[in-house]
Amino acid sequence: MEYFGYAGKILRINLNTKNFVVEPLKKEFIKLFIGGRGFGIKILWDELSIEIDPLSPRNKLVFSVGPLTGTKVQSASRWVVQFKSPLTGIYCRSVGGGFFGAELKFAGYDAIIVEGRAEKPTYVWINDDNVEFRDASRVWGLNTWATKEILQEETDKRARMVTIGPAGERLVRISAIMTDDSRAAARGGGGAVMGSKNLKAIVVKGSRRISIHDEDALNEVVNEQIKAYREWPSTPPADFKSLGTNTGTYVWYILGHFPTYNFQQREWPSIERFRPEVLKTYVIGHKGCYGCMMQCGKIFRVTVGPYAGVAWEFPELETEWAFGGIVGNSNIESIIVANMLCDLYGLDTISTGVAIGFATELYEKSVISRTETDGLELKWGDPELVVELVRRIALRIGNLGNLLAEGVKRAAELIGRGAEKYAMHIKGLEMPAYDPRAMKGQGIGIVTSNIGASHAVSWNKFEILGKPKRVDPFTVEGKAELTKYVQDEMAVCETAVFCKLIVNHDVINPYFYSRALYAATGIEDFKDPNYLWRVGERIWNLERAFNIREGVDGRYDTLPERLLNEPMPREPAKGQIFELEQLLKDYYRVRQWDERGVPTKEKMLELGLA
Amino acid sequence: MKICVRFVGWPASLFGKSYVWLFFENSPIILRKLLEKLELETGIKINLKDPNLVVLINGKLAEFIGGLNATLKDMDEVIITSISGGG
């Protein structure tokens, strides 16, 4: 079979036997699931037994890219990793950027399936058709930067990789998978899954180029895309190009949905420090992912205070919140350093920040005492505490570090004494920087996310950016339809593994995608955007089915007690509550699921999933 | 009556400042009057329907609290901003 757009191969690696198999990509598989996130969920659905321990050798990791990865299409070269999460016990999808995705495609693979467990610390070196299982003892224990330096020396200076740091090695349940250029597939504890397999890194170098079905048509689409990126005079991409996601931090607070003090939503005057004009003073450079002219990544520098001398990739909006607003910390320098440590140790910044906020509130409310915090006094707004706790969580140091390394849900269960009330998670995944009471559609999206509390899979651009049209974030009517729209859209756009930031700004959507996809692959079905929307719905329902098979159904579509029972205390959303029952009822209806939130047999048949 | 109009993000570049105080003899006024005065003083016209801009009154989207007829009283805060970014 001749492939256009695709490499045409899946690499299956077995760490027990140190063998690998190259499997051809099947036509029907491509048509039903397209690539990226679609491939991963289908493989996990077919191959993972139910109720396996996510840290056992029976779990699998699927790294995938899409049919536009490595082509001229902008912002289409991210990669996705999917697995059963050790943090939540359900399905997880986590997306990363940088250059690993494109290199994997150039090496000749659309996906890698990792199985089993190596006997000793191992890394896998993929150089086109050559696949080797190598000893990683020299780099085991090292941070991700040092690991990259040494493994590039051992393989190829221009090789790209995914790796874990000390946090993943220690099976920290909120550990991340990092790339050689400090991009993270952070959510859900993928780092711990790699660590449980004694897999330190996958290093890849490729020399192939991708065949395109219709180069002229693809060039036309790409030229339009570039023109759109260039011509917007003010807001996206201009604002976005200058400060990336940090453009939103201050405005998010003003709009009311930026949670402070572990979602207590106290006023936080220090937010003035996060105005775009202030944050821009930290920028000394720009960086981006393969094949994306946005270059929305920035290098921030620290020139004053105890962390002077640091220059590192900036904290994204979620990270600024995770080490800033949720813990009442306005010391930007400490946030930069905490972010850097998370990159080096391999930690999810969102989960880590929420865990610190959780612990701080427990201490404030005397649920835990100083004997349980290893002598640390937990105070809001303490920059040194934030940095110190990142280190302790990553390295599982002390009682508190070890506890928080388990994630807030497990930590709360272990502490007892009503700690659950302060654990801000959904289905075990720590909540992101959105208060559902201030943004109802975004809220129901996070509640029903298939990986737990994720903003990324269900970003309500109608409410947040007013794209493609603006809606009132405080209302309930019509929000179920919009939620399904953005969930299905992101699901299909992640078959390419488009950058969600560009999808969120509505520059990329299924209408654009279908043109690019047909031009690249020549597959007739892809000409129709409605076909792509259906693929997105298929993926969403299969992810849901995976979780239901694990026993997690609509009973878990809920919020922490604080967000259900307490009206919003802070303007402009003061007094707002989250109408969970109504929103869920509407959502299940729109999804054509039953009252338990289970996709009906008719729906599964309709989607070709029965 | 006085109202502080703040500019955040690219509007700060557009207006060349981060805020301006506007003074009115009458109270309350409507947003239309404020935007007219802003145009008079800065030469820049704000279109509420511009998809690249939002106008917030005390943090709420003006579009949903009356639009150009939204009421403004003494010491209300108006923010003119773009909304970009995201996490």
Q: Which two tokens mark A50?
A: 């139910």
B42 in reach of chain A (CB within 8 A): no
pLDDT under 70: residue ranges of chain A: 232-238
Nearest Cα residue to A444 out of A431, A433, A458:
A458
Token representation of residue A17 = 């036997």
To the nearest whole Å, the CA of A96 is away from the closest chain B CA by 13
DSSP A337-348: HHHHHHHHHTB-
Domain boundaries defined on chain B = 2-81
A500 vs A245: CA distance, rounded Å = 11
Q: A60 is written with which tokens?
A: 């699998």
3-state secondary structure of A445: helix
- Calculate how close chain A gets to B26, using CA atoms only, in Å: 25
Q: DSSP class of residue A556?
A: G
- Name the region of B67 (left: φ>0; alpha: ψ -120 to 50; beta: rest): left
Rg (CA), chain B: 12
| B60 CB within 8 Å of a chain A CB | yes
Nearest Cα of chain B lies from the Cα of A247 at a distance, in angstroms, of 5
Q: Which CATH number fits domain A436-496+528-606: 3.40.50.300, 1.10.287.4070, 3.50.50.60, 1.10.599.10?
A: 1.10.599.10
In this complex, do A244 and B85 lie within 8 Å of one another by their Cβ atoms? Answer: yes
Q: How confident is the model at residue B85 (pLDDT cuts 50, 70, 90)?
A: low
pLDDT tens sequence across A77-117? 999 999 999 999 999 999 999 999 999 999 999 999 999 99
Q: What is the pLDDT of residue A567?
A: 97
Q: What secondary structure letter does DSSP report for B3?
A: E
Contacts of the segment A554-557: beta carbons below 8 A, 24+ positions apart = A554/A584, A554/A588, A554/A593, A554/A595, A554/A596, A554/A597, A554/A598, A555/A596, A556/A426, A556/A427, A557/A447, A557/A448, A557/A584, A557/A597
Q: Does an H or E element contain A392, and which?
A: helix A383-394
Closest Cα in chain B, distance from residue A297 (Å) = 12
pLDDT of residue B26: 87
Selected from 1.10.645.10, 3.40.50.300, 3.10.20.30, 3.40.640.10, the CATH number assigned to the domain covering B2-81 reads 3.10.20.30
Q: Write the pLDDT tens digit of every residue in A447-481.
A: 999 999 999 999 999 999 888 899 999 999 999 99
| pLDDT score, position A510 | 95
Residue A118 makes CB contacts below 8 A (sequence gap 6+) with: A15, A16, A18, A133, A197, A198, A199
Q: How confident is the model at residue B43 (pLDDT cuts 50, 70, 90)?
A: very high
Question: Any chain A CB within 8 A of the CB of B4?
Answer: no
What is the helix (H) or strand (E) element at residue A114, kind and residue range? strand A111-115
Q: Which residues pair with A222 in a beta bridge?
A: none
The pLDDT of residue A211: 97
- Give yes or no for a contact between A69 and A76, defined as CB atoms under 8 angstroms apart: yes
Cβ pairs A/B, distance under 8 A: 101
CATH topology of domain A232-428: 1.10.569
Confidence at residue A610, expressed as pLDDT on a 0 to 100 scale: 81
Cβ distance A452 to A427 under 8 Å? yes
Q: How far is B48 from chain A (nearest CA, A)?
A: 12
Provide the 8-state DSSP code for A108. Answer: T
Q: Please answer yes or no on whether B87 and A321 come within 8 Å at the CB atom.
A: yes
The pLDDT of residue A479 is 98
- What number of other Cβ atoms are within 10 A of residue A29's Cβ? 17
Give the three-state DSSP class for A304: coil
Say whether A234 and B52 touch across the interface (CB within 8 A). Answer: yes
B77 → chain A, closest CA residue: A254
Q: Which residue has the tokens 């040194």?
A: A384
State the architecture of A9-205 in CATH terms: 4-Layer Sandwich (3.60)
Eight-class DSSP state of B41: H
C-alpha A14/C-alpha A16 separation (Å) is 6
Record the tokens describing residue A257, joined without a space.
């949905």
**CA distance, residue A245 to nearest chain B CA (Å):** 4
Cβ contacts of A459 on chain B, cutoff 8 Å: 86
The pTM of the whole model exceeds 0.95? yes
Mutation to test the A interface, candidates B4, B61, B84, most A Cβ within 10 Å: B84
The closest CB to that of A248, out of B56, B64, B86, belongs to B86
The complex's ipTM?
0.92
Partner residue opposite A504 with nearest CB, options B52, B56, B86? B86
- pLDDT, residue A235, reads 44
Q: Which element (helix H / strand E) includes A403? A: helix A398-404
Tokens of A457: 């899979």
Contact A235 B56 (CB under 8 A): no
Residues on chain B touching A248 (C-beta within 8 angstroms)? 83-87
Q: Say what the pLDDT of residue A415 is.
A: 98
Q: The tokens of A606 are what?
A: 């309709």
Q: What are A291-310's pLDDT values in tens digits?
A: 999 888 999 999 999 999 99
Report the residue of A241, A251, A570 to disrupt the B interface, i.e. the one with the largest count of B CBs within 10 Å: A251
Taking a C-beta distance cutoff of 8 angstroms, is the pair A183, A96 a contact? Answer: yes
Contact predicate A401/A453, CB 8 Å: no
Domain ranges of chain A: 9-205, 232-428, 436-496+528-606
In B, which residues are within 8 Å of A267 by CB distance?
none
How much is the pLDDT for A233? 47
Q: Is A374 helix (H, G, I), strand (E, B) or coil?
A: coil
pLDDT at residue A238, as a whole number: 59
Residue A199 host element (H or E): strand A199-205
- Which residue is associated with the tokens 């998010």? A252
